[in-house]
Structure 1
């Protein structure tokens, strides 16, 4: 009986070609940065909402924090997606994510229940996101920017 499926090595090569394709890489980097593109755009189109968010988390002056966050997230995302100093943008977003997570998702302060469970899940999802940015930076630093 002959094997009608391609060999494991051939499948791995095929998958590697798809995963390594420039369009796949760009789509993956856009997906990784999606929250850091959507968030500032939402803040731009609803600046009063952005101010309320900064106030909610005790960040003063709220307007200055909102503008800095908007500019930072869009700039760092552009760096990651474009490849221009990708490692700088990725490490910046990793640090920003950790800091924002510690400010906004302090699940340990919430009483047991649905809100605590949701905050706990979001906290650990954000840790994973920060880790992904560190991996992007590591790859960029070890293989060259924009590759």
Structure 2
């Protein structure tokens, strides 16, 4: 199974960086996978939107990119997982609402994906944050306690 096999990821360049010798985290793997897939799908859609908004000259040089990083957060007993894209980005107004249940910017969305992500991360005693600029892209950071902090 690879993400490239899914059509929405065909035009995306992935990079993954995992810091060596990270402390272990105690998580429900299925739930964290659900969070990451939601973030990756949203990133791919943001890249698709950016491509659709471009003129032909811009589109010929633009490469949709998603970068995943896993590293120590700099705090004791905490790691951070970052999912960063160079998609369409979000305004401050949208950023303020994205974790609210039933808020969506999609025509076919239900607005539950990011609300569920926030709940899952909170249930793991973690935190999820977002930074974004219109036309520049978005970065979600998931902060999780390491197993040593339990």
TM-score normalised by structure 1 residue count: 0.33
Higher helix share: 1
> Greater RCO between the two (CA within 8 Å, min separation 6)?
2
User: Whose radius of gyration is greater, 1 or 2?
Assistant: 1
* Structure with greater strand percent: 2
- TM-score, normalised by the number of residues in structure 2: 0.33
